[in-house]
Chains A and B, each alone.
Chain A
Amino acid sequence: MLHVASVSPPPAEACDERLARALRQLQLECAPMGEQQAPQTQEEVCIAGRGLDALPTALCELTRLRSLNVGYNRLWTLEAEVRAPALHSPVSAGGPAAASGPGACQLAAACPAASVFTRGLICPPARR
């Protein structure tokens, strides 16, 4: 007799726990040392004025997010994916043409291949 395993969606508790974990991670990544972090929720996040060059990885886990404030940072991209080949070659602002130019940067030795929004993977463009 052939048994076919059914794939059921994750229970709500697991989803809640995943979101809560992502939120805790977000607070850890964005709270400056010794500074009181503003309360964040799964629906509303404010990480304005944190000097961020890239969005925190945990942010894209917050699938219930309704309102996001990322103002007054140094963000230059909202790209959710850093393509795999780019992880192993220098990436720079302004596309491939500038990859070997003065703006090009080397990746850190420990390269989290699956991560997105990872700080330091992409050089920000020269500020206007």
Chain B
Amino acid sequence: MSQLRGLTALYAQSNSFARFPAALCELTTLRVLSLSMNGMRRVPSEVARLAALQHFDLSDNCLSEVPLGVCGLSALTKLDLHSNSVAELRPEMSQLTSLAHLSLHTNCLKAVPPALGSLTRLTWASFNNNQIAEVAPELFRCARVAGLRCSAA
């Protein structure tokens, strides 16, 4: 796989990758990576090497946290993490300064932290189907947000 040095888009949804394939971290030209519906429990920090990645789809897996390596992907504009088991959002998510689309619906979140208020390019976010009791007011300072879903399950 590492021979495919020019690959910019890889769609590998609905397979049996219980572990994140380490070879993917070598494909540094990737701009789109879909690994949804694979039953993955963790994503290694080396994923941060995918510096050109713009759309990362990790939805419908078994992630219990936002992978730290994902927070280092500063070119990311779209991050799909819905339908996992994420209970808490990392403050490091504030590093995702290019992010415009964030889907976190259908997880186990209890709060939306202030860190997300730093995502100044955010235009769309979904938090519905969680257990959210608290939304940091900072989120509403994201001037560009046009769509925000926070309804209860």
A63 CB-CB contact with B under 8 Å: yes
Q: How far is the CA of A124 from the CA of B34 in the complex (A)?
A: 21
Q: Are A71 and B6 in contact (CB under 8 A)?
A: no
Q: How far is the CA of A62 from the CA of B13 in the complex (A)?
A: 21
Q: Are A63 and B13 in contact (CB under 8 A)?
A: no
Q: How far is the CA of A69 from the CA of B7 in the complex (A)?
A: 11
Q: Are A66 and B16 in contact (CB under 8 A)?
A: no
CB distance from B3 to the nearest CB of A (A): 5
Q: Return chain A residues, CB-CB under 8 Å to B14.
A: 71-73
Q: Return chain A residues, CB-CB under 8 Å to B2.
A: 80
For chain A, the bracket of interface size reads 20 to 34
Give the residue of B11, B13, B21 whose beta carbon is less than 8 angstroms from that of A78: B21
A55 CB-CB contact with B under 8 Å: yes
Q: Are A80 and B23 in contact (CB under 8 A)?
A: yes
Q: Return chain A residues, CB-CB under 8 Å to B23.
A: 78-80
Chain A residue at minimum C-beta to C-beta distance from B34? A71
Q: Return chain B residues, CB-CB under 8 Å to A75.
A: 12, 15-17
Q: How far is the CA of A63 from the CA of B4 in the complex (A)?
A: 5
CB distance from A48 to the nearest CB of B (A): 7
Q: How far is the CA of A66 from the CA of B6 in the complex (A)?
A: 6
Chain B residue at minimum C-beta to C-beta distance from A63? B3
Q: Are A125 and B7 in contact (CB under 8 A)?
A: no
The 7 closest A-B pairs by CB, nearest first: A78-B21, A75-B15, A76-B16, A69-B11, A67-B9, A71-B13, A128-B39
- Interface residue ranges, A against B (CB under 8 Å): 48, 55, 59-80, 124-125, 127-128
- Interface residue ranges, B against A (CB under 8 Å): 1-18, 21, 23-24, 34, 39
28 A-B pairs within 8 Å (CB atoms) are namely: A48-B11, A60-B4, A63-B4, A63-B5, A64-B6, A65-B6, A65-B7, A67-B10, A68-B7, A68-B9, A70-B15, A71-B13, A71-B34, A72-B15, A73-B15, A74-B16, A75-B16, A76-B18, A77-B17, A78-B21, A78-B23, A79-B23, A80-B1, A80-B2, A80-B3, A124-B16, A125-B16, A128-B16
